Structure 1
Amino acid sequence: MTAAPFESGEVDLRHHGDAEIGGGLADFAVNVRTGTPPEWLAERLRASIADLAAYPDPRPARRAVARRHGRSADEVLLTAGAAEAFVLLARVLAPRKAVVVHPQFTEPEAALRAAGHAVERVILTKDFTLDPVSLSGGTTSQAPRQDSSIPADADLVVIGNPTNPTSVLHPADAVAALARPGRTVVVDEAFMDCVPGEPESLASRLPAGIVVVRSLTKMWGLAGLRAGYILADPHLVKTISEAQPLWAVSTPALVAVEACSTPEAVAEAETWAAELGAERDRLAAELSARGLYVVPEARASFLCLCVPDALGIRALLRQRGYAVRRGDTFPGLGPDWLRIAVRDRSSNDALLDVLGELGI
């Protein structure tokens, strides 16, 4: 596989799935769960409007997140979505060598660059999984690394788990092993609630040197509300909070965070994750049977696949009313890659029918 060029201008790091949709297109580009927010959550959000005259109080939601992950409240910082978390971390941290493990969500690298940090890319190979080489150190070249080795002198490493866009779930022990004295490892767990039981999450373990970023956007359909949080050691949380504007998280978002952190909400998410997994595996098998390479062992709410002339296929799908996510704006992928969100069975079958009409 060919690694993406190192220069930041080679790919549009700010291109995201929402740029693909609109105009009545069936949305297979954005990874937000459909049919959300659920009515019980929507009702609480509507009720929260009555309290908008008062300044937001984050303490109840912060305590709810802490209980949900078995942490203390001083290890939690609520944010206006995961995107704000990456911006805050980029502003507060002062890495000598920042490394972003790709392919992955591009906002962490974009935030680091916007804050004036140079970024080195490590491009995962072989089904985009962490391997023993990635834990061994490696060289210190400034070129993109195609052997997935992380330089020993990297003092900031950013990785997604499960990773967007590949849907790969890395073992928690492998991710935790990236940490070492003097290094901060930021783990983007925005899609971890797609995994029943979250066995590879570090949110409850939170080893030394690990920062976990979580989002409510995907599971609960709150992209327009902006709700997420950071889990980290209390000293770092305090430092980040001092860089965050006052009242950065709105009252409705705080209500959502608290409500979605209850045992009942977690149980609902688990049920959906199990249903998602069955349909995702079925869709992956259907695509693989057509001779397409689908990144194996997908665990999030989307599939990453290699299709000859993917950009051309994407354009043809748009003509037929379907939006999928282009892959060439993810470092480490290229023009033959697409990301497809997993929807309900009938919607997925309709997409498969259209792909069949295109000879796929």
Structure 2
Amino acid sequence: MHLKDETRETAAELRIHGGRIDTAALLYPSAPQPWIDLSTGINPIAWPVPQIPLARYQRLPLAREMAQMTAAAAEAYGLPANAAIVPVSGSELAIRLLPRMIGAGRVGILTPTYGSHGAAWRDAGAEVHELVALPDPNTHELQTLIVVNPNNPDGRAIARADLAAFAQAWTADARRLIVDEAFADVRPDVSLLAMPELPVGVVVLRSLGKFFGLAGLRVGFVVVHEPEAAAWRQLLGDWPVSGPACEIAALALRDAAWIAKARGRLAADRRRLDGTLGRAGLKLLGGTDLFGLFEGSDGIDLLDHFARAGILIRGFSAPAGRYRFGLPADEAAWRRLEAACGTLAA
């Protein structure tokens, strides 16, 4: 399929963020229905949300309900003794607010990674440097460093002990370290929240939506040194998350049996994904148990190929030829993915 010139700008939107099924449907009106969204890296089998009493929608969330949710987050993620958890309406909002909270300056970002980090700091006027490795804490002149761990989209992970040691050295000169742990639910072994204490100057972001499959709930958390929490709470106000979201998040975070079962299922499905795409000739570059990053061959635009089959994957503007695949939700979706892979191999 060759897109007309007037649609090229719209097609480019599919390479900026995942989840744009509406845009894909406009570009590919003849694609099979329903669309299968493999573009987001979100758990396709969500935590089973119970019916929430109407009263939760009719009033503002209570302080104790917010406290119950943050306590559940501390139990699920871990919480250093000197740190506080602040709820936020999705970790994306926290990413956008970080320059305001910290102040723009010379910022380093370990790349390639989630594009909103760089966009947020550039929009704030920061001098952004893209790095391919952790900088030397003794020589680098950056004021802030951003690390996504595990990384999106290649799954690169820095061991907790290594990142903790780096954090101690990096923040010793009053520099800031931002660690985005949006995908750490499938790699809890790398999370800094298991540290006894959080180095002053470290900010950790967590997202409920990825692992629990509840991205539309818009719940995330900012974990900071306790004295810094007041500024975040003042900025976000008394009701940063809705009452129903508080109740759902607290229940989900405390559902240890579901969490353990989901981790096992996601790991098995990720192995199946690797095998399915590998047999179609795609090269595995990395990933987590929520997504895989693959490289195509022969100059074929895989975003276009799978979209014609009604399957949205995540393409990238640069580097070309790399694509992120999430996990199908059920056997019908797996069969459609396997069929699309079969035509690719042919």
TM-score of the alignment, normalized to the shorter chain, above 0.5: yes
Matches within 5 A, 1:209-358: 209-262=201-254, 265-296=255-286, 298-308=287-297, 312-328=301-317, 333-344=318-329, 346=331, 347-358=333-344
Q: Tell me the distance in 2 between the aligned counterparts of 1:199 and 1:48.
A: 39
The structure carrying a bigger helix percent of its residues is: 2
SS of aligned partner of 2:74: helix
Query: So what's the TM-score if we normalise by structure 2?
Result: 0.82
Give me the whole-angstrom Cα distance separating, in 2, the residues matched to 1:244 and 1:220. 24
Superposed, 1:200-215 pairs within 5 Å as 200-205=190-195, 207-208=198-199, 209-215=201-207
1:147 alignment counterpart: none
Q: Quick one: distance in 2 between partners of 1:311 and 1:82?
A: 34
How far 1:243 moved relative to its partner?
A: 2.2
Following superposition, the deviation at residue 156 of structure 1 comes to 1.0
CA apart distance, 1:51: 5.4
Find the aligned partners of 1:97 and 1:29 in 2 and give their Cα distance.
32
Conserved? CA contact 2:301–2:321, under 8 Å: no
Change (3 A) 1:344 1:254: closer
How many Å separate the matches in 1 of 2:163 and 2:300?
33
Asked if 2 retains the 8 angstrom alpha-carbon contact of 1:52 and 1:251, the reply is no
State the match for 1:136 in structure 2: 136
2: CA distance, partners of 1:233 / 1:14: 36
C-alpha RMSD of the superposition: 2.7
Map of 2:130 onto structure 1 = 121
What is the Cα deviation at residue 270 of structure 1?
Answer: 2.2
Aligned-pair identity in percent equals: 23
Q: Which moved more, 1:210-219 or 1:285-294?
A: 285-294
Change (3 A) 1:290 1:174: farther
Whether 1:62 aligns to 2:70 is: yes
Residue 35 of structure 1 corresponds to: 45
* Cα 1:51/1:356, change in 2 over 3 Å: closer
Is the Cα–Cα contact under 8 Å of residues 311 and 335 in structure 1 kept in the other structure? no
Separation of aligned partners in 2, 1:67 and 1:159: 24
- Helix, strand or coil: the match of 1:229? strand
| TM-superposed deviation, 1:219 | 2.0
Match of 1:15 in 2: 16
Give deviations 1:289-341, integer Å, cap 9, x for gaps: 44422114x3230000111367722112211211111122xxxx412111000
TM-score normalized with structure 1 length? 0.79
Q: How many residues are treated as equivalent by the alignment? A: 316
Is contact 1:311-1:326 (8 Å) kept? no
SS in 2 for 1:232: strand
CA deviation vs aligned residue, 1:168-211 (integer Å, no higher than 9, x gap): 3321223223322122211111111123xx11111221530322
Once residues 303 and 105 of structure 2 are traced to their aligned partners in structure 1, the CA distance between those partners, rounded to angstroms, is 39
Task: Say if 1:191 and 1:300, in contact at 8 Å, map to a contact too.
Answer: no
| 1:50-91 CA-partner distances (Å, limit 9, x unpaired) | 453234422222222233314459611000010111122221
User: Do 1:78 and 1:229's aligned partners in 2 also have CA atoms closer than 8 Å?
Assistant: yes
1:300–1:210 distance in 2 versus 1, CA, 3 Å: farther
Gaps of 5+ in 2: 1-11, 26-33
Distance in 1, matches of 2:37 and 2:156, equals 22
* Counterpart code for 1:273: R
The whole-number CA distance in structure 1 between the counterparts of 2:312 and 2:125 is: 34
Give the gaps of 5 or more residues in structure 1: 1-10, 125-129, 139-150
Other structure's SS at 1:108 match: helix
